[in-house]
Amino acid sequence: MAEIESHTTSSGKYSPGSHEPAAKAHGVVWAVIALLIVAAVLVAVILPRRKARAALKKETEDLATPTVQAIHPKLGAPQSEIVLPGNIQAFTDSPIYARTNGYLKKWYADIGTRVQAGQLLAEIETPEVDQQLDAARADLNTAQANYRLSQITQQRYDDLAKTDSVSRQDVDNANGDFQAKKAMVDSAQSNVKRLEELQSFEKIYAPFTGVITARNTDIGHLINSGAGAPATELFHIAAIQKLRVYVNVPQQYSVSAKPGLTADLTLQEFPGRRFKGTLVRTADAIDPASRTLLVEVDLDNPRGELLPGAYTEVHLKVPSGSPTLIVPVTALIFRAEGLQIGVVKDGEKNSTTAELQKVALGKDMGNEVEVVSGLSADDLVIVNPPDSLISGEAVRVVKNGATAGVGSDQEATSSEDSE
């Protein structure tokens, strides 16, 4: 029986023990191949998706980070020019009234007439004053005649008193009458002189050299000197060879607004021209209503080009008391906390963040403003900041056309994805 089993095995007709290891090895091979296929599928499908998802997440975060443009503030000039509104006035300005009552007989100067000091402007007819002057002169003649008679009488009585020809009482009466007659002469002379002065007011003269800016009377008008009724202004005269310009300087520049400061005047009717003036005096007091200092600028006007009452812009060259910085007006942020400016700071982990700083402004130059405090020359100022910008927020900074900070990382990531 043993021989039969051994023979069968050697001939290969029947050997169940030899087939079991071969089958197991074949199954392991197929299992390894299946695992390799699954791993290849995972590597080919899942990993790119995860990488794409990570890239998308990073891109979304980068896009959520605001991009801002930042610049360094400019240094302000040591001497700044402030432009303020001014009111031109004549150096001397005066109304002209009559000093006597009557009717206007004739006028010799109309509006715009250049007149010299002492030039005749008008004549007034005063018949009442003329009659009073004639009567006063007649009274003076009478008083002088009585005075001469009393003088002769007094001298005669003095001579007679030396020989005791008259009583002492008569001599005293003669002397008293002489003194009374002398006082009457003095009174009559004063009355005549007063009426002559009134009569001289019939002629109205220019008090100073200037231009007639108003004529409020005409021939035949009743002239009232103010006795019992308001006086009427006949003429108005202004001296325009030299002009005054009054300017209200803001309080922050009041310390620098000192006499001797140069000032230029510009007017719309003279484009491209500047008229030189000098600050000559200040009020030395701040107006509590406007918080400004009233100053006076004088300038020569030899050709009479500038007119009193005109509006002008006064350019004052004011020395800066402290260094100032200039930034665009678009960098300002107006919020409930006050006026602020966004600046770029280095945050944690090499990030770039925005910080809001309170500032105080100086002069407004239209497109730019002057910052007097709250900012340094080394700060990077954010131009056109987003309305939602807050302190500590990460930002991407664009400076001189190049993206810095987070933007450079994004570009590196994009290049890796393309590879």
Tell me: the pLDDT tens digits for 126-167? 888 888 888 999 999 998 898 888 888 888 888 787 887 778
Report, as an integer, the average pLDDT of 16-39: 71
Name, in order, each residue with C-beta under 8 angstroms of 417's C-beta and a sequence gap of 6 or more: 55
Per-residue model confidence (pLDDT) at position 402: 43
* Domain 127-201 = CATH 1.10.287.470: yes
Its pTM surpasses 0.75 = no
CA distances from 72 to 354, 378, 392 (A): 14, 7, 20
Tokens in use for 142?
């009478």
What value, to the nearest 5°, has the Cα angle with vertex 355 and ends 352 and 359? Answer: 145
pLDDT per residue as tens digits for the range 284-321: 999 999 999 999 999 999 998 999 999 999 998 877 65
pLDDT of res. 228:
61
Work out whether strand 380-383 and strand 368-373 pair parallel, antiparallel, or are unpaired. Answer: unpaired
CA distance 317 to 217: 46
The DSSP bridge partners found for residue 381 are 71, 343
Cα torsion at 26, 29, 30, 36 (round to 10°)? 180
Question: Rounded to 5, what percent of the chain is helix, strand, coil?
Answer: 35, 35, 30
Domain-by-domain residue ranges, the chain?
Answer: 1-43, 63-75+324-418, 127-201, 238-319
Report pLDDT for 378. 86
**Residue 386 DSSP code:** -
| Fold of domain 63-75+324-418 | 2.40.420
Helix ranges (DSSP H) in 118-242: 127-162, 168-200
- Residue scoring higher pLDDT (346 or 86): 86
Cβ neighbours around 59 below 10 Å, total: 14
Residue 7: pLDDT above 60? no
Residue predicted with more confidence, 63 or 34: 34
pLDDT at 24 over 80: no
Q: What is the DSSP string of 153-179?
A: HHHHHHHHHHTT-S-HHHHHHHHHHHH
Closest to 261 (Cα-Cα) out of 292, 313, 297, 299: 297
Instruction: Specify which of 9-13, 56-60, 191-195, 384-388 reaches the highest per-range mean pLDDT.
Output: 191-195
Q: Give the fold, CATH level 3, of 238-319.
A: Elongation Factor Tu (Ef-tu); domain 3 (2.40.30)
- What secondary structure does DSSP assign to 257-273, as a single string? --TT-EEEEE-TTSTT-
Task: Please give the residue that has the higher pLDDT: either 37 or 245.
Answer: 245
